[in-house]
Amino acid sequence: MINDIQRKIIRLKEEKDICILAHSYQAKEIIEIADITGDSYKLSVEAAKVKSRNILMCGVHFMAETAKMLSPQKHVFLANPLAGCPMAEQMDAQMISAIKAKEPDRKVVCYINTTAALKEVCDVCVTSSSAVKIVKNMDAEKILFIPDCNLGAFVKKACPDKDIMLLQGGCPTHARVTKQELEEAKRLHPNAVVLVHPECRPEVTENADYAGSTSGIMEYAAKSDAKEFIIGTEISIAEHLQYRYPDKDFYVLSKDLICSNMKITTLMDVYKTCESIGNSDGKAFEIEMTDEQIAKAKVCIDEMIRLGG
Ligand code: 13P
Ligand code: SF4
């Protein structure tokens, strides 16, 4: 059954000139039919190079919005319109503009997990894999890093010569992990290497063997000679790694590391969206942005690619 649907999706992709982009947190059956998979940074860089007329994003809303900004001439769809990122909604442009008005020499660095409207008032965007490099490369000493204070604290530690201001925001999924859970996982698996995402709290990242983006974690696990790993990011990554490297053992750091927004998209959503594209039946959820919105919000994404490349 799953294979039948996958075959139909593959046929529809060809017929309708659709390129499927999937974030690594997506389910295995979606990853298998995607043309491009990866973390937020890879998806944004690759979205700009897509040749197909249609892009279908399997991930969350800000990722589809980013793809639209980087490929404005394409039709960009989100496989399930309910897939948002709670962190992206935590701060708005008005709130950040008020801080900028008080401190005009402070550059605003925003995590890519933000809305296009908020990006309009920011100077540069970052992803978890590029944040430290971009902040180091910036020609500014005073920085406001939003919205994730955990990723911000991670960047602050790596860039001690910068004056980095943080606000209270973050990923509700990663921030849920406690130091006690980490200690318990280490007790259960004393030989395992601990790999965590910097969206986790400092008390977790500081006690891990490695903290890095989704791709960073996957690359570390691939290259390491170790046989056991505790994975401190969305549970799908431990599953994907376990399929890819059956001779190694991957344990989830916490069973609560589940992002319901990333999990909401199903293979059937992908199939139904592919079916609907080009039919004008209104069932496919297309990202609509004006040229003005794109032009304003894209400035900080272009800056991310320039400073992070
Ligand atoms: P990365 O893809 O940058 O690792 O970020 C993880 C995440 O939470 C995506 O929303
Ligand atoms: Fe947003 Fe966190 Fe889910 Fe990523 S894992 S989409 S940051 S809520």
- Tell whether ligand 2 has an atom less than 6 A from the beta carbon of residue 234: yes
DSSP state at residue 87 = G
The number of the ligand 1 atom at minimal distance from the alpha carbon of 43 is: 2
For 107-150, the pLDDT digits (tens) are: 999 999 999 999 999 999 999 989 999 999 999 999 999 999 99
Distance 263 CA to ligand 2 centre (A): 10
The number of the ligand 2 atom at minimal distance from the alpha carbon of 86 is: 8
Across the range 23-37, mean pLDDT stands at 97
Q: Name the residue with the closest Cα to ligand 1, atom 9.
A: 40
**132 phi and psi angles, rounded to 5 deg:** -65, -45
User: Which of 60, 61, 90, 234 best tests ligand 2's pocket when mutated (most atoms within 8 Å of CB)?
Assistant: 60
Give pLDDT, residue 308. Answer: 83
Per-residue pLDDT at 199 exceeds 80:
yes
CATH architecture of 2-84+262-288: 3-Layer(aba) Sandwich (3.40)
Mean pLDDT of the chain: 95
How much of the chain, in percent, has pLDDT values that exceed 70?
100
Give pLDDT, residue 40. Answer: 86
For 50-59, the pLDDT digits (tens) are: 999 999 999 9
Where residue 37 falls among pLDDT bands split at 50, 70, 90? very high
Give pLDDT, residue 44. Answer: 82
Residue ranges, comma separated, of all CATH 3.40.50.10800 domains in the chain are 2-84+262-288, 87-171, 177-255
Across the range 20-32, mean pLDDT stands at 97
DSSP state at residue 90 = S
Cα–Cα distance for residue pair 207/52, rounded to 1 Å: 44
How much of the chain, in percent, has pLDDT values that exceed 90?
93
For tokens 């589809």, the residue is 64
Across the range 11-40, mean pLDDT stands at 96
Give pLDDT, residue 48. Answer: 87
Per-residue pLDDT at 90 exceeds 80:
yes
Q: With the CA atoms of 44, 50, 54 and 56 taken in that order, what torsion angle do they form, in degrees rounded to the nearest 10?
A: -40
Amino acid type, 39? D
CATH number assigned to the domain covering 177-255:
3.40.50.10800
Cα–Cα distance for residue pair 34/19, rounded to 1 Å: 8
Q: Which ligand number lies closest to the CA of residue 84?
A: 2
| More confident call, 309 vs 133 | 133
Distance 15 CA to ligand 1 centre (A): 31
Where residue 282 falls among pLDDT bands split at 50, 70, 90? confident
Per-residue pLDDT at 1 exceeds 90:
no
Across the range 6-15, mean pLDDT stands at 98
Cα–Cα distance for residue pair 195/191, rounded to 1 Å: 13
Single pTM value for the model: 0.94
User: Which of 174, 214, 215 best tests ligand 2's pocket when mutated (most atoms within 8 Å of CB)?
Assistant: 174
| More confident call, 194 vs 39 | 194
For residues 20 and 34, the answer to whether their CB atoms sit within 8 Å is yes
Q: Which CATH superfamily is domain 87-171 in?
A: NadA-like (3.40.50.10800)
Give pLDDT, residue 45. Answer: 83
